């Protein structure tokens, strides 16, 4: 077994130690009911823990009811939502993964269609299904794009209430058993809309220069850090670049990362784009394997802060190379895990870290090991097999 593999080395984050560097990124399922998780979420997320990931994130979870992206997005604005999260967190823990949750607010992108219905503003067909719109909120009264609703510009008092709701959601997350909280500050949602000069035209203390535009992000982070147990880590997801002229830049991200590190944020999760249009817009770049890795690399090296790389990282050799090069400390897998929930286990086998199925759950590992011993024609599953 290779000793030098970075992908399967534990990472210590405050009082936690991961079993490896594989993270399942938050992936919206649009399948909650009035903000409550159900069996779909338990099975969807549970399979990634069984599949060997070190950290498994529950999808973006709204801190206010009006902060949902769609009618199908989960929340933690009410105590009644805790039990569904508890089931998920306990299952992940029992199967060796660290349960994590991303807390956020959709801002001016709230109240939209589920993707399979169009991914745009709610319309007549949605109303017929009983999914009625609500007024979104934002840093300024600037819509996402033409034809989208104009958001209500948050007052200072509403901003303070928002911060309090983030803290309340973090308390509920801890009660549910999560061990990591990530603040969603990317993809054009509320926190990102304060950061970007393209969506923040305020003239008060929460707008104007970089310091003013960072204020909401930093105040939320500071408030959660004070409320979150000191032995548990706090992450922040950023859109490292807007990918638009005069928008948020990588230089700005470095400044933000330094300020977040001073507050006590452990990991910068580096994504990009989404300030206008799709939340998955890749910052104006051609979407190619590892296209966002340079963002994580720069923050890691200039801020001396752990980072998580995300975005078209699909093969074990690719993930290992990112870590070995010092570009990031964690590898976030998203859609590839939808295609292969056992990605981490296959990666361990393909890279020679686990050749005996010892890392697999015993309910399946012993079967697979026996098959290999007795089958003359056995071929390993996973990427290495595909390459043969």
Q: How many helices and strands in the chain, by DSSP H and E?
A: 13, 12
Largest CA distance in the chain: 72
Based on the residue annotation, tell me whether 189 is a catalytic residue of this protein.
yes
CA distances from 47 to 51, 84, 141, 319 (A): 6, 16, 41, 21
Neighbours of 319 (CB within 10 A): 27
3-class secondary-structure state, position 41: helix
CB 75 within 8 A of CB 62: yes
Classify residue 240 as exposed, middle or buried by CB count within 10 Å of its CB (0-12, 13-18, 19+): buried
Read off φ and ψ for residue 80, nearest 5 degrees: -65, -15
DSSP 224: H
> Which residue of the set 30, 189, 206, 295 is catalytic?
189
- Distance between CA 21 and CA 6 in Å, rounded? 8
Distance CA 365, CA 357 (A): 5
Interhelix angle 82-94/156-176, rounded to 10 degrees, is 50
Distance set, CA 148 to CA 135, 151, 155, 202, 223 (Å):
11, 9, 21, 20, 32
Residues labelled as active-site residues:
189
């Amino acid at each position: 077994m290779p000793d030098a593999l970075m992908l399967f080395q534990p990472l210590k984050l405050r009082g936690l130690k991961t079993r490896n560097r594989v993270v399942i990124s938050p992936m919206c399922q649009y399948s909650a009911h009035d903000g409550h998780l159900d069996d779909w979420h338990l099975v969807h997320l549970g399979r990634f823990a069984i599949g060997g990931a070190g950290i498994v994130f529950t999808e973006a979870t709204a801190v206010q009811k009006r902060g949902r992206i769609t009618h199908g997005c989960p929340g933690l604005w009410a105590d009644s939502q805790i039990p569904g999260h508890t089931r998920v967190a306990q299952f992940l823990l029992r199967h060796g993964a660290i349960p994590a949750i991303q807390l956020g607010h959709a801002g001016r992108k709230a109240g939209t269609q589920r993707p399979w219905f169009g991914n745009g503003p709610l319309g007549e067909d949605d109303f017929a299904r009983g999914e009625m719109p609500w007024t979104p909120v934002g840093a300024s009264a600037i819509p996402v794009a033409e034809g989208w609703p104009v958001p209500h510009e948050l007052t200072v008092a509403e901003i303070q209430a928002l911060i309090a709701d983030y803290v309340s959601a973090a308390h509920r997350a801890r009660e549910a058993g999560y061990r990591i909280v990530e603040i969603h500050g990317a993809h054009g949602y509320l926190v990102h809309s304060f950061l970007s000069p393209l969506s923040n035209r305020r003239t008060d203390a929460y707008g104007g220069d970089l310091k003013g535009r960072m204020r909401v992000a930093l105040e939320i982070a500071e408030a959660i850090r004070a409320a979150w147990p000191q032995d548990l880590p706090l992450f922040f997801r950023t859109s490292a670049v807007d990918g638009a002229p005069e928008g948020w830049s990588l230089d700005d991200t470095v400044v933000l990362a330094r300020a977040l590190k001073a507050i006590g944020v452990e990991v910068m999760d580096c994504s990009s784009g989404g300030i206008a249009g799709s939340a998955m817009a890749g910052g104006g770049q051609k979407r190619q394997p590892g296209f966002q890795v340079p963002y994580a690399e720069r923050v890691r090296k200039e801020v001396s802060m752990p980072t998580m790389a995300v975005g078209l990282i699909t093969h074990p050799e690719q993930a290992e190379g990112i870590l070995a090069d010092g570009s990031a400390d964690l590898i976030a897998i998203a859609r590839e895990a939808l295609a292969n929930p056992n990605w981490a286990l296959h990666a361990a086998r393909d890279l020679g870290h686990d050749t005996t199925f010892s890392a697999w759950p015993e309910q399946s590992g012993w079967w697979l090991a026996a098959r290999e011993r007795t089958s003359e024609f056995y071929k390993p599953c996973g990427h290495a097999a595909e390459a043969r």
